[in-house]
Amino acid sequence: RIILMEFESIWLLHTYTPNNGKSDKSFKRREDWESKLQLFLQELQKFSSKSLVYMGDLNIAPNDVDLSDPDWFRNAHQEPLDERNRGQPGCTPGERQNFQELLKAGNLFDAFRKKNPAPPTDSKSPVPDIKGPYYSWRGNDSAQYGVTGRFFGKGMRIDHALISEELNPRLEECKLLGHGVDRIGFMGSDHCPIFLRLSEQQKEGGN
């Protein structure tokens, strides 16, 4: 899914990024998507001087701090996958590298992480509390099947608000609107909304 809207001072892009999956076919689909998206972002900057706000389910937890259980996620699906695609889809080495290349191609930064810095590496809790508003995706308890799903109680931050570097002075707020193992604020989904607030653009010569 791709939506692109033009406003007075910005472009607003919303996409659903295909899941990396677990097969050669799905790996290729994701790589093709990433390369075409990076090219699009580069071409958009040539076409227009307007800044970009890019939001959506990008299916990538950029760093371990974006996972409730980093070791558990990283150690999933280890064989017989190649190194770039080892681990749970959404946090594999290849996906993380592509995310950094995406930021560079679009001259973008992660608005949520800018406003919600990661815990220090020497913190007693190296990842944010699973109960807090830090993970945009939460595992289902599979209660309708009478069992607890293996992802229950786990979370990933895979929905993002990426904005152009020149919008940094206008960034006021960015937060996730869902929290808790029971997915409060998720409105029936396994993903919660993400909220972004930018200040109004200053008029030339204005205050």
The active-site residue out of 16, 32, 129, 182 is 16
The active-site residue out of 24, 32, 54, 57 is 57
Question: What is the 3-class SS of the chain, one letter each residue?
Answer: CEEEEECCCEEEEEEECCCCCCCHHHHHHHHHHHHHHHHHHHHHHHHCCCEEEEEEECCCCCCHHHECCHHHHHCCCCCCCCHHHCCCCCCCHHHHHHHHHHHHHHCEEEHHHHHCCCCCCCCCCCCCCCCCCCCCEEECCCHHHCCCCCCECCEECCEEEEEEHHHHHHEEEEEECCECCCCECCCCCCECCEEEEECCCCCCCCC
**Is residue 135 among the annotated active site residues?**
no
**Is residue 145 among the annotated active site residues?**
no
Q: Return the active site residues.
A: 16, 57
